[in-house]
A and B are shown apart, each in its own frame.
Chain A
Amino acid sequence: MEEPPAIELRGLTRHFGERTALRRVSVRVPAGTTLAVLGRNGAGKSTLLRILSTLLRPHAGEVSVFGEPLPRRAFAVRGQLGLLSHEPLLYNDLTGRENLVYHARLHNVGEERVEQLLEAVGMERRAEDPVRLLSRGMVQRLAVCRAVLHQPRLLLLDEPRANLDPAASELVEPLIGRGAGCTRVLTSHDPQAALAEADLVLGLKDGRASFVGAPEQLSAAKLAELYA
């Protein structure tokens, strides 16, 4: 039997009051590939990621993740997703380690994985500091750990390298980069960086899919139009 695509959207639409954030968006993302979602601020990128993460419901159209229709089968999909969003989803008054242990328990993951990840992102020496005392870059490194703690099959990455310096960016690369070995959906304020990582591009303009195709098919003019 053919493996279902990691993601399939058919006519996905989502409103916020009078405003339509996503309008009839369709795309198919094979498992193990990287989809770059491009578009200027407010184009609908974060909304798309929240729908894929099961945190928002679509208002029309069909969404499936690993063949499971959302939101009906959201329970089957949760636990296979890792979301790295603008918010780190960490408690400011807990330490980095306490936060990760909390998430590890929610995902039924052993605590040795927490230690392994803290070491991987170079946070083992600051793991006992409350999150509110850490720099933004350090918080982002912890957020990366949280997102990949349970080794998700699908990573939803909203500006994943925000606040990271080049050294920190290199540290998280094996966890959220191509080497992570999972399907990825990626947004970035730097389209060239996103294109370099992508197998497939979805260009959003005012909530509509203005471009769907391989990165090499995206012309400079079309890219400029997406950000106009």
Chain B
Amino acid sequence: MKTTLTVLRKDLRLELRTLETVPAMTLFAVTTFVIFHFGLNRATIDGQLAASVLTTTLLLAGMLGVNRLFVAEREQGGFDAFLLAPVDRTAMLVAKAAALFTFLTVLEVIAVPAFGLLLLGPSLGRSLPGLIAVLALADLGIAVIGTLVSAIAIHTRARDLIGPVIGLPLLIPALIATARAIGPLLAVHGSSSPPGKWLAVLALYDVVFALIAYAVFDFLLED
């Protein structure tokens, strides 16, 4: 736990200092909402269409973070330094996933209100607690799978391509479950709580991939 916090603190400090990842993710998301606003040629959207636009945009913005996750480790020797230390390598998996989760949360704190202003018809107020719960579960899945994919991609020359090429197909089930869970929340006179079935799918998905990541992450750090 101590090592995880050490690596996480370092990652958050690096991001605060360089502002390389979160601003790019946020700008991408807001720009995409503007594109949808004009592309759909509708003043507002709601229900399943709104859920799909929101989920897809957040996922694609999240991929920018996934691509950047291990860049400093690779380019500035962070991997080697970490591997030389007598610490559990899983600490890096947990720290990187936590860092990505934090980046996604900050992204959503800005992007979701922007979505409410630019595209969404119904008010966010009543559905907000449910929306936060769904997005937290979705972020967990993206963080775990994103970390795994990023650790694979960083060892390849085409790492910017490998991340989305491997990551997006793996995240399709999470995307579907998230969009289905959010849909009723964003409908006009919709529900204030997400469907339990899709929440359970998301939670199960998170657990399965967390176990897979835990099992294989050590091997990804080997030469």
CB-based contact B72/A54 at 8 Å: no
Contact sample, A vs B, 11 pairs, CB 8 Å cutoff:
A55-B84, A78-B84, A79-B85, A89-B76, A92-B76, A93-B18, A94-B13, A94-B14, A106-B85, A107-B86, A130-B17
| Docked-complex contact B222 and A54, CB < 8 angstroms | no
Cβ-defined contact, B10 with A53, below 8 A: no
Closest to B17 in A: A93
Q: Given contacts A56-B223, A89-B81, are A78 and B76 in contact (CB under 8 A)?
A: no
Count residues of B near A (Cβ-Cβ below 8 Å): 22
Complex Cα–Cα for A91 and B82 (A) = 12
Given contacts A55-B83, A78-B86, A146-B81, 20 further A-B contacts (CB under 8 A): A54-B83, A54-B84, A56-B223, A57-B222, A57-B223, A78-B83, A81-B84, A85-B77, A88-B77, A89-B84, A90-B77, A91-B14, A91-B72, A93-B18, A94-B17, A105-B3, A105-B6, A106-B81, A106-B85, A107-B85
- Is A98 on the interface with B (CB-CB < 8 A)? yes
- Number of A-B residue pairs at CB separation under 8 A: 68
Please report the C-alpha to C-alpha distance between residue A79 and residue B87 in the assembled complex, in whole angstroms. Answer: 9
What mask results when residues 3 to 22 of chain B are scored 1 for a CB within 8 Å of chain A, else 0? 10010001001100110000
Asked if B2 is at the interface of the complex by the 8 Å CB criterion, the answer is: yes
Chain A 37-62 interface 0/1 with B at a Cβ cutoff of 8 Å (1 = within): 00000000000000001111100000
A103 contacts which chain B residues (CB < 8 A)?
A: 81, 85
Closest chain B CB from A137 CB (angstroms): 18
Q: How far is the CB of A201 from chain B (nearest CB, A)?
A: 26
At the interface, is chain A mostly helix, strand, loop or mixed?
loop
Whole-angstrom distance between the Cβ of B84 and the nearest chain A Cβ: 6
**Closest residue of chain A to B2, judged by CB?**
A105
CB of A102 within 8 A of chain B? yes
Q: Judge whether B78 is part of the interface by a CB distance below 8 angstroms.
A: yes
Q: How many whole Å from A125's CB to the nearest CB in chain B?
A: 21
Given contacts A93-B18, A102-B6, contact A53 B84 (CB under 8 A): yes
**A87 near B: Cβ within 8 Å?**
yes
Contact (Cβ within 8 A) B10 A55: no
